[in-house]
Amino acid sequence: MSRNAEPNANDDLAGQTCQPGDFRLSDVAVIIPVLNEEQSLPLVLRDLPMHGTPSMSRVIVVDNGSTDGTAAVAANEGATVVEEPRRGYGSACLRGMEYIEQSIEKGEAAPEVVVFVDGDYSDHPDLLPGLVAPVFAGEQDFVLGSRILGKREPGAMPPQSIYGNKLACWLMRVFFGGQFTDLGPFRAISYPALRKLGMVDTNFGWTIEMQIKAVRANLRYIEIPVPYRRRIGASKISGTVSGTIRAGTKILSTIARYGLSK
């Protein structure tokens, strides 16, 4: 959903390509939080449009305590690897943002757009150009890839995940007026807007915190339908009962916390 346009649920980003002159890959930073993604991560990295280019250094793989060869795989593909020993999805994302800030302090140019994508190959990294295009065009500050509006591979999102997303988005609409259908991990946001949000969540509340704060900050935002496939490897959240309960509790508590602080 968007404040500016109504997306077509049958029209996802598949097939969209980056047109010459639209933007420079060096103006995009990609943050990929990972935990034991040795098998899937090479596929994610090779599908990114900056793979094999100097801009690959702006792909930041945040290793959240992997015990396999995830970090080595990322380095071999040309990505920048940073470590975040403090467990949690949000912790890894915050570490990626911290790395960007440190790079700027050392003289590197700030990115115009930051993209977040998971390392399990459930998202389609090759569709990054279509995700960032509205931001580079100056039309949006925040673009969310909606799995609910897009085409999902059977079994990619279990029933509890679909229900939880719908409930969370309904509550966001009731409490904050946010028009979202999903809490999808594949998202793009302008770097100045991201800094403005003051993200703090270190765990499962990261995605919904960003969306709530985007609404409160009056960011221009839009959802774009994206395809979604079954992840490689076991899910750390929706694949287990305990993970689902913990994630759901965190998401609901995040809504309550910001809802009560109006």
pLDDT for res 18? 42
- What's the average model confidence in pLDDT over 211-236? 93
Give the integer Cα–Cα distance in Å for 190 and 172.
22
pLDDT digit string, tens, across residues 71-104: 999 999 999 999 999 999 999 999 999 999 999 9
pLDDT for res 81? 98
Is the predicted pLDDT of residue 241 greater than 80, yes or no? Answer: no
- Provide CATH code, domain 25-260: 3.90.550.10
- What's the average model confidence in pLDDT over 49-71? 97
pLDDT for res 7? 39
Is the predicted pLDDT of residue 13 greater than 80, yes or no? Answer: no
Compute the mean pLDDT over every residue in the chain, rounded to the nearest whole number: 88
Long-range contacts of 233-241 (CB under 8 A, 24+ apart): 233/36, 233/37, 233/39, 233/40, 233/120, 235/120, 236/35, 237/204, 238/157, 238/158, 238/160, 238/161, 239/158
Q: What is the DSSP string of the chain?
A: -BSS----TT--STT--PPTTS--GGGEEEEEEESS-TTTHHHHHHHSTTTTSGGGGGEEEEE-S-SSSHHHHHHHTT-EEEE--S-SHHHHHHHHHHHHHHHHHTTPPPPSEEEE--SSS-S-GGGHHHHHHHHHTTS-SEEEEETTTS-B-TTSS-HHHHHHHHHHHHHHHHHH----S---S-EEEEHHHHHHH-----STTHHHHHHHHHHHTT--EEEEE--B-PPSS--SSTTSHHHHHHHHHHHHHHHHHHHHT-
Which residue shows structure tokens 């509790």?
A: 249
**150 phi/psi in degrees, rounded to 5:** -90, -170
pTM for the model: 0.88
Is the predicted pLDDT of residue 218 greater than 70, yes or no? Answer: yes
- What's the average model confidence in pLDDT over 104-124? 98
Do residues 117 and 124 make contact, with C-beta atoms less than 8 angstroms apart?
no
Is the predicted pLDDT of residue 236 greater than 90, yes or no? Answer: no
Question: Which range has the worst mean pLDDT, 159-168, 237-246, 248-257?
Answer: 237-246
pLDDT digit string, tens, across residues 178-217: 999 999 999 999 999 999 999 999 998 999 999 999 999 9
- What's the average model confidence in pLDDT over 126-143? 97
Is the predicted pLDDT of residue 231 greater than 80, yes or no? Answer: yes
- What's the average model confidence in pLDDT over 246-255? 74
Domain segments of the chain as ranges:
25-260
